[in-house]
Amino acid sequence: MTASPPGTLVVISGPSGAGKTSICNELLRRIPNSRWSVSVTTRPPRGTEVDGQSYRFISPEEFRRLEAEGALLESAEYLGNWYGTPRAPVEEAIRAGETIVLEIDVQGGAQIARKMPESVRVFVLPPTMDTLRARLAGRHTESAALQEKRLAEADGEIAFARTSGAYDFFVTNDILEDSVNEILDILRRRHAR
């Protein structure tokens, strides 16, 4: 029996409201043998979020324990909450030749760039800052104050993505279908190498 070729780790980052989650859902639907990396977070669930689907919601104590055990591949603090990627499912997916999709912030993206340079890292940009504001306002799952905080983070995140060298690809998410096709093309080109 021959081992399957190693899988692909895909990182999708971008400011809150850029449309990362819709892009990730479409990628997962269209890429065979792909799976979503369920992050752990200390932030409370938002709207209809179900524990274990978008995130596993855990206490700060449990987060610190996982980190101390080395169970997280990367982690970062964003607006006072902690977020991290469990290591085991990523390693398992790569071993099995699958594509695993991580939706993480730029600090996490930079950690993955260092640890797993063979990963594909894409930064999603909003067409304009006004679009970002409108998309955040349309979400209705957060307070206006929290939306402002997320918006205030956006400039710094975009600047960091551009200057850190952690991202090889920048995709402006105007029309979802186009953005998804662009990322699928990037992945096809990577596999053809």
Count the residues of the shown chain that bind ligand 5GP, applying the rule CB under 6 A.
Answer: 14
Range 92-151, binding ligand 5GP (CB under 6 A):
103-105, 107-108
Pick from 8, 38, 10, 7: nearest CA to 180 = 10
Question: From the CB of 82, what's the least distance to ligand 5GP, in Å?
Answer: 9
Residue number, nearest CB to ligand 5GP? 108
Binding mask 43-82 for ligand 5GP (x = CB under 6 A): x------------------------------x-x-x----
Question: From the CB of 137, what's the least distance to ligand 5GP, in Å?
Answer: 15
Range 154-193, binding ligand 5GP (CB under 6 A):
none
For residue 85, state whether it binds ligand 5GP (rule: CB under 6 A). Answer: yes
Q: What is the 3-state secondary structure (H, E, C) of 55-120?
A: EEECCHHHHHHHHHHCCEEEEEEECCEEEEEEHHHHHHHHHCCCEEEEECCHHHHHHHHHHCCCCE
| Residue 55 one-letter amino acid | Y
Pick from 186, 155, 156, 184: nearest CA to 169 = 186
Binding mask 25-44 for ligand 5GP (x = CB under 6 A): --------------x---x-
| Residue 76 one-letter amino acid | A
Kindly tell me which residue out of 19, 84, 119, 124 binds ligand 5GP, with binding defined by CB under 6 A: 84
For helices 144-164 and 106-115, the axis angle rounded to 10 degrees is 30
Q: Name the residue with tokens 């551009």.
A: 162
Q: Contact residues for ligand 5GP (CB under 6 A)?
A: 16, 39, 43, 74, 76, 78, 83-85, 103-105, 107-108
